[in-house]
Amino acid sequence: MEFSKAIFQVFDLKTVIYGVILLFIVIDVFSSTSITKAPVTIPSNTISSPPLSLAIILKPSNTSIFSIPNLKNTTSFRKRPICDIFQGRWVVDDGRSRPSYRPGECPFIHFNFDCFKSGRMDLNYTMLRWKPNGCSLRRLTRHKMAKFLRGKRLAFVGDSLSRNEYQSFLCLLTNDAGKKKKVLVVRKTKVFEKFGFESANFPDDNFTIDFIQTPFLVQKFEGKVQLDVMAKVSEDYKNADIIVFNSAHWWRHRITNHGNNFYQIGKHVYKHLTPKMAFKKSLRTWSKWVDANINATRTQVFFRSFSPVHYSGGQWNSGGNCRGENFPITKLKKRGKFELQETLETALRKMSTPVRYLNVTTMSNYRKDAHPSIFRGKTINETIQDCSHWCLPGVPDSWNELLFTMLMDHGQQK
């Protein structure tokens, strides 16, 4: 079968057997005065054998089907007060904009982030909204976002936190359906760090939201991270109209073998590199690539800062936990523990391409209450808690409101 051949060219057998799931999901969100459950139709014939046209998407080198030229600038930019949207506090919403969507009802959320479906019963964490001092975030509505995105492509590029962010974005976009909308999702998930891809196309409004998994941004192959070469998937997103990058967690991950014989530049393999040094070198590669490859007239580039974790009593693999945390932190300790953050900020300052900093670290750091902990899947296992990703609805919804506000206020924020 031609389709399976196409997969096998890209992935080794093991990855295919354990990993590749390709779904073709058509979601119709029906009009209603109240929020209704969006029915998900997964045509059974497309699971094992998707239409051949979809198989094209599997080829990482093929970017042509996603190159959507820019549309005319039709968005009107309303003037609003400028303030530092990252300085503020979490407030209990009056119920008008929180929860951002009904818990357990957004069909785009992976079960790892669907805390409600996984049995988390307290819902206070869904009722908080980020409120900057001195101004308000724009409320992300499907109508306004779709109008802005028409004819465009937005790509979330990074690790599984970017996936968290991407899924939140899709939920926000399908929440207040005024009329019937169709979303076509092409998904290729669970493919470890090699290549992960998901693409949601909104044909009625003619725009596409992508998630591209590339946790180091630079290339990884044969068990090493090649710090001086961008990951090949960069070809796939460089023509997007808006790119939201992130990279942080994996540099500290056990997968880096504690930095021993794991990083290489040219043919030279480093005996040891600290996360900071490795990250710094990779960002040099990334920023040179952005300066050389991104057309800043066309593409708005964002970098989302580090998403804080809240393990207490250990780390993710040594009994660290956050279960039972139902309230945010009220007073943060002085900052300074995010060493990779400063590395990132230094790199961004040196660039010639304007990269907009989605500075979510501090605001998210309050939210020790908003991680999945044990509510991260179908079976509850008390041993390993997730205090790193975020429940949805939850914190990434506010990240996306920050992003939305920055997009709409382009040219007004500093």
Ligand X SMILES: *[C@@H]1O[C@H](CO)[C@@H](O)[C@H](O)[C@H]1NC(C)=O
Q: How far is the CB of 251 from ligand X (least distance, A)?
A: 19
Question: Contact with ligand X (CB under 6 A): which of 9, 33, 44, 297?
Answer: 297
Tell me which DSSP letter residue 145 carries. Answer: H
Site string for ligand X, 93-132 (x = CB under 6 A): -----------------------------x-x--------
CB atoms inside a 10 Å sphere around CB 120: 20
Burial letters for 39-72: b for 16+ Cβ neighbours within 10 Å, e otherwise? eeeeeeebeeebeeebbebbebeeeeebebeeee
| Cβ atoms of residues 108 and 211 within 8 Å | no
The span from the CA of 164 to the CA of 251, in Å, is: 18
291: contact with ligand X by CB under 6 A: no
Most distant CA pair in the chain: distance in Å?
A: 62
CB of 71 to ligand X, least distance (A): 4
Q: Binder to ligand X among 11, 24, 66, 86 (CB under 6 A)?
A: 86
Tokens of 334: 């002085």
Q: Does 68 bind ligand X (CB under 6 A)?
A: yes
Stretch that binds ligand X, among 30-38, 158-166, 242-250, 377-385 (CB under 6 A): 377-385
In the complex, minimum distance from the CB of residue 285 to ligand X, in angstroms, rounded to a whole number: 21
Q: Contact between 330 and ligand X (CB under 6 A)? A: no
329 binding ligand X? (CB under 6 A): no
Q: Does the protein bind ligand X through residue 377 (CB under 6 A)?
A: no
Core vs surface per residue 288-307: b (16+ CB within 10 A) or e = ebbeeebeeeebbbbbbbbb
x/- mask, ligand X, residues 168-207, rule CB under 6 A, reads --------------------------------------x-
**Residue 119 in 3-state DSSP?**
coil
Going edge to edge, which strands form the sheet with 263-265?
218-221, 224-230, 263-265, 268-269
Q: How far apart are CA 127 and CA 97, in angstroms?
A: 8
The minimum distance between CB 369 and ligand X, in angstroms, equals: 8
Cis check: omega of the bond before 81, within 30 degrees of 0: no
312 lines the binding site for ligand X (CB under 6 A):
no
Q: For ligand X, how many residues bind (rule: CB under 6 A)?
A: 30
Task: Give the relative orientation of helices 160-175 and 395-408 as an angle to the nearest 10 degrees.
Answer: 70
Residue nearest to ligand X (CB): 151
Choice from 104, 151, 319, 377 touching ligand X (CB under 6 A): 151
- The Cα 18–Cα 191 span in angstroms is 8
- Please say which residue, 150 or 194, places its beta carbon nearer to ligand X: 150
Q: Which residues of 208-242 are buried (b: 16+ CB within 10 A; e: fewer)?
A: bbbbbbbbbbbbbeeeebbbbbbbebbebbbbbbb
Contacting residue, 326, 346, 352, 413, with ligand X by CB under 6 A: 326
**Judged by CB under 6 A, which of 25, 42, 255, 384 binds ligand X?**
384
**Considering only residues 71, 135, 255, 265, which one is a binding residue for ligand X as defined by CB under 6 A?**
71
Contacting positions for ligand X (CB under 6 A): 56, 59, 61-62, 64-65, 68-71, 73, 77, 86-87, 122, 124, 151, 206, 295, 297-298, 326, 345, 357, 359, 362, 381, 383-384, 411
